[in-house]
Structure 1
Amino acid sequence: MANEVNLNRLAVFVALVGAGSFTAAAEQLGMTKAMVSQHLARLEQELGVSLLMRSTRRMSLTEAGVMFHADCVRILNETDAAIERIGESRDTPAGTLRITTSMDYGVAVVAPAIASFLKLHPAVQVDLTLGDQVSDLIAERFDLAIRSGWLRDSNLRAVRLNGFRQLLVAAPAYLAANGVPRRPADLAGHVLIALSVLASPSRWIFTSSNGKRHTVRIPQVAQANSAAAVRAVALAGAGVAVLPDYLAEPDIRAGRMVALLAQYRLPEGGIHAVYPSRQPPAKVRAFIAHLRDRLVEAAV
């Protein structure tokens, strides 16, 4: 029987009891007195019980009506509270924000952004998962992924936050022992610590200032599945490496690494916020905006 009841009639019934008359309820609801009466009659028919006893002058609840009215009031209050909660979720950042990103970008960029984000939004808690495998956002219940590089085709929504340059680098000790390459062709005499998750880890395209492209294959001496590990091996002097600017530039400024072939450009990658929901909640929108602002500030 419950699935045959029009739930909109519950609000009419509660309004009728609260108003005390069909006329007052009709004015409150913005409908005719006949329509209020019709809703009550159909509700009683759907339930199979009488809810009101009425005469020309007064109306009173039946025993079943008293119990049903109390339940209706509770249901409508819970509905109002649920709508209010979902509205708060839509408009105010709150709750747990589950983020996934790569190990290197997470440590270098996302984790510091989380710290400043939490100061702005104390009602949010963050659960950050770092890993270099692409996570299934829906199956693993992530709200948001921050992905660097080149996006795969998918049905997920994505927002480009920024881009990054790729830099060819090596430790000073390695260069002292093996010489400094002056042009892309010189890399044939060097060895590469490669990032194995790339489609072509040892093949690189350098573009000169006049737009001429130089494709080279660098002999590979080692590989790792994370840029942070590639950086560590390169810092130890094992070979040259191609690293994203956010990972390499602190080492270059500190003198731990040397940028090579600066007159050439390597392909640039993108930083994207990826999320599964067509209408992301406020906590997701707020973090995307916060991270984008930090990236813009860092680039100035």
Structure 2
Amino acid sequence: MAAADVNLNRLAVFVALVRAGSFTAAAGQLGTTKAMVSQHLAKLEEELGVALMVRSTRRMALTDAGERFHEDCARILADADDAITRLGECRDTPMGVLRVTAASDHGTTVVAPALAEFAERYPQVRVELVVTDTVSDLIAERFDLAIRIGWLRDSSLRAARLAAFRECLVASPSYLEKHGTPSVPGDLAAHRWVAVTVLASPTRWTFTDGHGDEHSVQTRVIASANSATVACRFVLEGLGISVLPDYVVDADVAAGRLVALLPGFTLPEGGIHAVYPGRQPPVKVRAFIDLLKERLA
């Protein structure tokens, strides 16, 4: 006889019957009828080929085989309950490895500190951050999620918008002292430009004035970098003007190391998104998205 020949659901009925002490009490606990409990026991004995209980009109008693089998069944059901509990903990509590990819600038300034807080908050999670300025294949490279900046491409991946960021036109005081301060977007064509090459259009920018009118300008590149952080370093050194995200330049603007230009004009806002594969993200991914929203609010 193999385990496959036995209906394992009958084990729970058998254990409930022994614990309840009668067919009537067992039926009440299981939400079924006394006849159904008796039928399950008879079928179980038939499948096992051994009598488990001696029954009379007034009492029932376990056989020797039934006593041994009950101990094993009770242990099996307890193990099953423990397994279900552990599975529930996996479902409800972040654990395991959280593997994240992000652009180098945002990954360093925003995602890394958030992951550090996440690891402190959920000690059962080991965090891993991969910074890259190329778009990673989340499924092939086994990432749980990516933090992407700017405007999302069409994708089969799911995305949660975390926040927005401002694009800031900035220059250093030393550059402005030497080359003058632009007063309208058209002036930028004559200035030295530091381009961020990972952008879709790193040299052409469209500004909107207070009346909603658009002003486009083609810039003259003197230096370029594939990282906003590196481009910011060029600007800080007085090499030229650039458009950089607020999370890269805000501290330098507040400290006076950079000057925000063209205050009467705006550039389109960019989005910060958490992108993940699958329809329903696991609990560790949902928890990290919630934490990022808290920090970016």
Q: TM-score, normalising length from structure 2?
A: 0.84
| Structure 2 counterpart of 1:135, one-letter code | S
Alignment of 1:7-22 (within 5 A): 7-22=8-23
In structure 1, C-alpha distance between the alignment counterparts of 2:176 and 2:239, rounded to whole Å: 10
Alignment of 1:161-200 (within 5 A): 161-200=162-201
| Structure 1 counterpart of 2:291, one-letter code | H
CA drift of 1:268 comes to 0.6
1:49 aligns to what? 49
Contact 1:165–1:269 under 8 Å retained in 2: yes
In structure 1, C-alpha distance between the alignment counterparts of 2:109 and 2:157, rounded to whole Å: 25
Contact 2:193–2:221 under 8 Å retained in 1: yes
| Structure 1 counterpart of 2:54, one-letter code | R
In structure 2, C-alpha distance between the alignment counterparts of 1:90 and 1:231, rounded to whole Å: 43
CA drift of 1:132 comes to 2.0
Quickly say closer, same or farther: Cα 1:267–1:286, change in 2 above 3 A.
same
* 2:92 maps to 1:99: no
* 2:275 maps to 1:274: yes
In structure 2, C-alpha distance between the alignment counterparts of 1:191 and 1:10, rounded to whole Å: 80
In structure 1, C-alpha distance between the alignment counterparts of 2:32 and 2:112, rounded to whole Å: 56
Q: Could you give the per-residue CA deviations for residues 62-96 of structure 1, whole angstroms, max 9, x where no partner exists?
A: 64x66654554344223222322233334344444
Quickly say closer, same or farther: Cα 1:219–1:74, change in 2 above 3 A.
farther
1:140 aligns to what? 141
In the comparison of the two structures, how many residue pairs are matched? 294
In structure 2, C-alpha distance between the alignment counterparts of 1:285 and 1:256, rounded to whole Å: 38
Quickly say closer, same or farther: Cα 1:268–1:51, change in 2 above 3 A.
farther
* 2:206 maps to 1:205: yes
CA drift of 1:199 comes to 1.9
2:234 aligns to what? 233
1:215 aligns to what? 216
| Structure 2 counterpart of 1:52, one-letter code | L
In structure 2, C-alpha distance between the alignment counterparts of 1:221 and 1:2, rounded to whole Å: 76
Range 179-188 or range 134-143, more displaced: 134-143
Range 267-276 or range 169-178, more displaced: 169-178
Quickly say closer, same or farther: Cα 1:107–1:41, change in 2 above 3 A.
same
Alignment of 1:23-42 (within 5 A): 23-42=24-43
| Structure 1 counterpart of 2:163, one-letter code | N
Secondary structure in structure 2 of the residue aligned to 1:176: helix
CA drift of 1:108 comes to 1.4
Range 158-167 or range 16-25, more displaced: 16-25
Quickly say closer, same or farther: Cα 1:290–1:217, change in 2 above 3 A.
same
Secondary structure in structure 2 of the residue aligned to 1:85: helix
| Structure 2 counterpart of 1:167, one-letter code | C
Contact 1:150–1:270 under 8 Å retained in 2: yes
User: What are the ranges of 5 or more consecutive residues in structure 1 without an aligned counterpart?
Assistant: none
CA drift of 1:43 comes to 4.2
Quickly say closer, same or farther: Cα 1:39–1:90, change in 2 above 3 A.
same
Contact 2:232–2:244 under 8 Å retained in 1: yes
User: What are the ranges of 5 or more consecutive residues in structure 2 without an aligned counterpart?
Assistant: none
| Structure 2 counterpart of 1:212, one-letter code | D
In structure 1, C-alpha distance between the alignment counterparts of 2:211 and 2:43, rounded to whole Å: 80
In structure 1, C-alpha distance between the alignment counterparts of 2:5 and 2:99, rounded to whole Å: 40
In structure 2, C-alpha distance between the alignment counterparts of 1:147 and 1:74, rounded to whole Å: 49
* 2:87 maps to 1:86: yes
Quickly say closer, same or farther: Cα 1:4–1:274, change in 2 above 3 A.
farther
Secondary structure in structure 2 of the residue aligned to 1:97: strand
CA drift of 1:292 comes to 1.8
Q: TM-score, normalising length from structure 1?
A: 0.83
2:293 aligns to what? 292
In structure 1, C-alpha distance between the alignment counterparts of 2:80 and 2:100, rounded to whole Å: 30
Quickly say closer, same or farther: Cα 1:37–1:205, change in 2 above 3 A.
same
